[in-house]
Amino acid sequence: MTTLIRQTDAWIAATRPGWLWLGQLALVALGVHLAADRLDDLLLDAVLALPLPGGASTGPEHVAVGAALVLELAVVVRAAWVLASSAGGPDPAWSAWWRKRSVESLVRPLFWAVMALGGAWTLAMAVEDATATYLGDPVAKGLGLLAGGLAAWRLGWTGWRRTTGGLFLPRHGWAGLLWAPALLACTAVGLMQLPLWGWVR
């Protein structure tokens, strides 16, 4: 029986990298969703400003929501690929980053940091909302901040280190340019959604 327990424990421990990978991706996906939720409003404003024919069967809202959804899915798939391709990479170091400098090396760490913070903030708000009725606002807020802080540390920080350390030596400095607009759009909108601005005013 003891041998079975030890073998089971060893098997569970061996699956940890896979679960950690899923957690890191899920946190960033939450951040991307937070950004996309605001991005569809911005896209709607842009679509409404276009001289579209009045008899179009597809309303501007459908265009904006559809575009934001496609962007969200594409960026999450890209994030999953980046995580998978970064497995086993070294810890990030300034000298290594400088040697691998490119569009990708500039965009990836920024995107990952903002999206992970956005995901942690979303998780914190969800925990607070779920517990406020039963525990009261002060306790619920504390639990939310604790959950968000733990997620940012255990998933966001480790994911950032993994993806930044896993950068490849680029063939040229323009590597990553194709994905840069989508990633930077999510990063910029996600940054606007973080609660930082209330603290710095």
Query: What was the pLDDT predicted at 10?
Result: 62
**Is 8's pLDDT higher than 50?**
yes
Distance between CA 63 and CA 39 in Å, rounded?
12
Average pLDDT over residues 150-172: 90
Please name the residue ranges forming H helices in 15-136.
16-48, 60-85, 94-99, 103-135
Q: What is the pLDDT of residue 200?
A: 37
Q: Which residue has the tokens 């525990």?
A: 135
Kindly give, in sequence order, each residue whose CB lies less than 8 Å from that of residue 85, ignoring residues fewer than 6 positions away. Answer: 166, 168
Q: How many CB atoms lie within 10 A of CB 149?
A: 14
Local structure of 7: helix, strand or coil: helix
**H helix or E strand, kind and range, residue 86:** none
Q: Contact at 8 Å (CB) between 79 and 156?
A: no
CA distance 198 to 201: 6
pLDDT given at position 189:
92
User: Which pLDDT tens digit goes with each residue over 83-125?
Assistant: 988 877 777 888 888 888 899 999 999 999 999 999 999 999 9
- Residues 6 or more apart in contact with residue 135 via CB below 8 angstroms: 143
Kindly report the average pLDDT of the chain as a whole number.
Answer: 83
Residue 175 contacts residue 51 (beta carbons within 8 Å): no
pLDDT-based confidence at residue 201 (cuts at 50, 70, 90): very low
The helix/strand/coil state of 150 is helix
Distance CA 55, CA 47 (A): 15
Q: How far is CA 11 from the centre of its chain?
A: 29
Distance CA(191)–CA(188), nearest Å, equals 5
Q: Tell me the mean pLDDT in the region 71-76.
A: 93
DSSP classification of residue 89: P
177: which residues sit within 8 A by CB, 6+ positions away?
103
pLDDT tens column, 54-72: 545 456 677 777 888 889 9
Quote the pTM value: 0.83
